[in-house]
């Protein structure tokens, strides 16, 4: 009996997904006639049972084809994952792209993990990629980065939350040095209703945690309609008194500006940061770096 080749099984699965010989052949870098020949060879090796019904317009799976697809897909996926991991072990992890909105939180854990990761694996590197102020999860979803540093809380069904990089970051508000709130020892969320507030719009749960929609007394907090494109522009607008910016102490301290005062907010809970990645996206090198971060966190839990 002739042996079935992996390329024949891959063709079958792609064709079962596309139900179109031209598109399946294009995905695999084959001609349409070559794809048809490969399928016929597979059908012969499986006892001559037809896997697809073809007309001039439509390609459909037969019952035998449906059964083979359902049983074969997880097997080939598992094999691909195993082979990818083997290649990673042989060639080294390569470069991990790590998205960061700013370098304010979790840097102690990240720096230690990056050093450990790059020293432990030949050819390994971690490249930091700046993520947009108004699209912090976009690069992750577009697979422009492999991991991203995110502030919590985050509740997105397609995003996996990993190890914490920082915790209990105190909430503060950044205001102009001559702003009415600048001289206070602390402020309340109640004060936010009196001023234009910068409220992130791209992730609703993060926006609500940083600046609730309503004060404790029920007054609406109206976000500023000024478009802010990057951190430099944000700092300039705050220093000019055009908006106030609820944030966390690490961010405010990292981007300390001579024209900006930092005032604690007494009635917002502290925040944390964590690593995050796209769910359902296999990436053994990414997982290896996450495991390195977990080692660093376990060795230095207070950090």
**Residue span of the structural domain in which 17 resides:** 6-90
Boundary-marking domain end, from 56, 74, 90: 90
Chosen domain end from 90, 119, 139: 90
Indicate whether 143 and 225 sit together in one domain. no
Q: What is the DSSP letter of 144?
A: S
pTM: 0.66
Give pLDDT, residue 249.
Answer: 92
Residues with pLDDT less than 50, the chain: none
Q: 219: closest CA among 191, 181, 193, 187?
A: 193
Would you tell me the crossing angle of helices 6-18 and 63-91 to the nearest 10 degrees? Answer: 120
CA angle at residue 148 from 260 to 117, to 5 degrees? 110
Whether 182 and 237 share a structural domain: yes
Q: Is residue 31 part of a domain?
A: yes
The pLDDT tens digits for 48-100 are 889 999 887 889 999 999 999 999 988 888 887 777 666 666 556 788 999 99
The single residue listed with the structure tokens 């502290």 is 270
| Structural domain contains residue 153 | yes
Same structural domain for residues 157 and 286?
yes
Residues 163 and 276 in one domain: yes
Task: Check which CATH number belongs to the domain holding 69 and give it.
Answer: 1.10.10.10
Does residue 155 sit in the same domain as residue 294?
yes
Q: Is residue 1 part of a domain?
A: no
Residues 159 and 293 occupy one common structural domain: yes
| C-alpha distance from residue 163 to each of 113, 136, 295 (Å) | 12, 18, 10
Domain end among 90, 113, 143: 90
Laid out side by side, the sheet with 260-264 consists of 245-248, 171-176, 260-264
288 domain residue, yes or no: yes
Whether residues 147 and 294 share a domain: the answer is: yes
Number of domains making up the chain: 3
What pLDDT sits at residue 121?
84
Token pair for 214: 């309503």
- If asked whether residues 140 and 184 sit together in one domain, one would say no
pLDDT of residue 229: 82
Phi first, then psi: give them for residue 168, nearest 5 degrees. Answer: 60, 40
Same domain, 176 and 263: yes
Q: In terms of DSSP bridges, do strands 95-100 and 159-169 run parallel, antiparallel, or are they unpaired?
A: unpaired
Q: Is 286 a member of any domain?
A: yes
Query: Residue 92's pLDDT is what?
Result: 61
The predicted-structure confidence for 100-127, as pLDDT tens digits, reads as follows: 987 677 788 999 999 999 998 888 899 9
Asked if residue 276 and residue 155 are part of one domain, the reply reads: yes
CATH code: domain of residue 137: 3.40.190.10
Q: 212 with 221: CB under 8 angstroms?
A: yes
Same domain, yes or no, for 153 and 221? Answer: no
The reply to whether 265 and 276 lie within a common domain is no
């Amino acid at each position: 009996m002739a042996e079935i080749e992996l390329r024949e099984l891959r063709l079958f699965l792609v064709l079962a997904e596309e139900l179109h010989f031209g598109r399946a052949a294009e995905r695999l870098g084959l001609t349409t006639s070559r794809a048809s020949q490969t399928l016929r060879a597979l059908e012969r090796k499986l006892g001559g049972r037809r896997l697809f019904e073809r007309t001039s317009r439509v390609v459909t799976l037969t019952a035998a084809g449906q059964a083979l697809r359902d049983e074969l897909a997880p097997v080939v996926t598992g094999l691909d994952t195993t082979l990818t991991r083997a290649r990673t072990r042989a060639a080294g992890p390569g470069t991990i792209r790590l998205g960061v909105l700013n370098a304010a939180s979790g840097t102690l854990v990240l720096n230690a993990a990056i050093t450990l990761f790059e020293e432990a694996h030949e050819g390994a590197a971690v490249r930091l990629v700046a993520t947009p102020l108004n699209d912090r999860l976009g690069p992750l979803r577009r697979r422009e980065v492999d991991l991203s540093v995110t502030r919590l809380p985050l509740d997105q069904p397609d995003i996996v939350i990993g190890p914490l990089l920082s915790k209990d970051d105190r909430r503060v508000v950044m205001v102009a040095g001559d702003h009415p709130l600048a001289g206070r020892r602390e402020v309340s969320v109640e004060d936010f209703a009196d001023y234009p507030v910068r409220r992130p719009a791209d992730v609703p749960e993060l926006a609500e945690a940083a600046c609730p929609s309503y004060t404790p007394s029920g007054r609406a907090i109206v976000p500023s309609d000024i478009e802010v494109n990057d951190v430099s522009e944000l700092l300039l607008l705050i220093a000019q008194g055009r908006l106030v910016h609820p944030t966390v102490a690490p961010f405010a301290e990292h981007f300390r500006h001579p024209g900006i005062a930092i005032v604690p907010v007494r009635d917002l809970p502290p925040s944390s940061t964590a690593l995050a990645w796209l769910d359902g996206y296999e990436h053994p090198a990414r997982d290896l770096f996450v495991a390195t971060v977990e080692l660093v966190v376990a060795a230095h839990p207070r950090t």
